[in-house]
Amino acid sequence: MGGPLAGLRVVELAGLAPAPFGCMVLADLGADVVRVDRVGGSAAVPGDVLGRGRRSIGVDLRRPAGAELLLRLVAGADVLVEGFRPGVAERLGVGPAQCLARNPRLVYGRVTGWGQDGPLADRAGHDINYIAVAGALEPIGRAGAPPTVPLNVVGDFGGGGLLLATGVLAALHERERSGRGQVVDAAMVDGAALLTTFLHGMKAGGAWPGGRGANLLDGGAPFYDVYRAADGRYVSVGALEEKFYAELLGVLGLGDADVPDRRDPAQWPALRRRIADAVATRTRDEWAALAEGTDACLAPVLAPEEAPGHAHNAARGTFAQVGGLPQPAPAPRFDRTPAGTPSVPPAVGQHTDEVLAELGLAPAEVEGLRRSGVVG
């Protein structure tokens, strides 16, 4: 598979969500990612496609011979990624000290919820806990209702996997100057907090004066919200600027009507009712067709399975068929070194013989390791 990261060698210690997603991004962009799975293990999440574009080797890292195999892999790699709780890799004998001793140029990427230090570092948690402490969960939702859980995209994927990939690439860039690797500590609580930077600025500038669900970008403003159409499906409205708002009113048939003043928050409830009543007169797709070719900032709210069929997504190739399953295509795009279509996620240990042969192990040696349960 091509891409701007072709030739980059990554070793991934199998885990859940953030680390696999970060490594998927690297693999999508051309890196050769070898995932180290548990011997005899299986996919942690049925149907998970985050493992696409990889090779898989089964290794029992709890055995000294397994840890030694990993260190041999690391000696010829550019990056290692692990998502264990703090201290686990060290106890297995494959922590930063051991790996960087074998390969001083190695970028050692670590992704956790709470980070490698701090009072919560050794505590269990999940996406919802990390974004809660980061201040990213509380502002999401409707006024008068509890915070809305935004799937696990803010912590696991945006604040975790993407932050990890960004950190790894930054460390690789720095290595070009220093010749030295380093440890990248990507904590989801840090990443989720980073994603709220704009919100902190708006609060400081007085542009976010209300509580949850009462502001410009959180569904409080009637011209930035979702509305139920006649068929029970929804359209999104994001007409922030005056010229776009004027086009929205025209599409909705309210252009010549006496509508409440959108500049006055006290009139927002009345304006919301007018927009809601208008949207309720047609189906979602009828509104999408009416808004086509305009700057009304009205778009249909699509289910994930509908998104690949949308005309814009189809024209851009935003989704790809990987093993017969539609899923998001690699992004971003590059004009000289475009990424190819990812391969399907490998079976656990599918490439064990191939990868060990690249390390210089003879077939008889590999078979001995397999018989002893070190590899699979």
Rounded CA-CA distance 59/333 in Å is 34
What does the CA dihedral 364, 365, 369, 370 come to, rounded to 10 degrees? -30
285 part of the active site? no
Rounded to an integer, what is the distance from CA 343 to the centroid of its chain? 19
Q: Which of 126, 185, 295, 310 is catalytic?
A: 126
Q: Let me know: does 5 contact 32? Beta carbons within 8 Å.
A: no
Rounded CA-CA distance 18/20 in Å is 6
Please report where in the chains the tokens 């919200």 appear, as a residue.
225
Query: Would you call 370 exposed, middle or buried from its count of C-beta atoms within 10 A (0-12, 13-18, 19+)?
Result: middle
Q: Which of 28, 32, 156, 218 is catalytic?
A: 156
Rounded CA-CA distance 338/83 in Å is 29
Contacts of 135 (CB under 8 A, 6+ apart): 193, 196
Q: Is the dihedral of CA 35, 41, 42, 43 positive or negative?
A: negative
126 part of the active site? yes
**Residue 305: count of CB within 10 angstroms of its CB:** 8
Residues tagged active-site? 126, 156
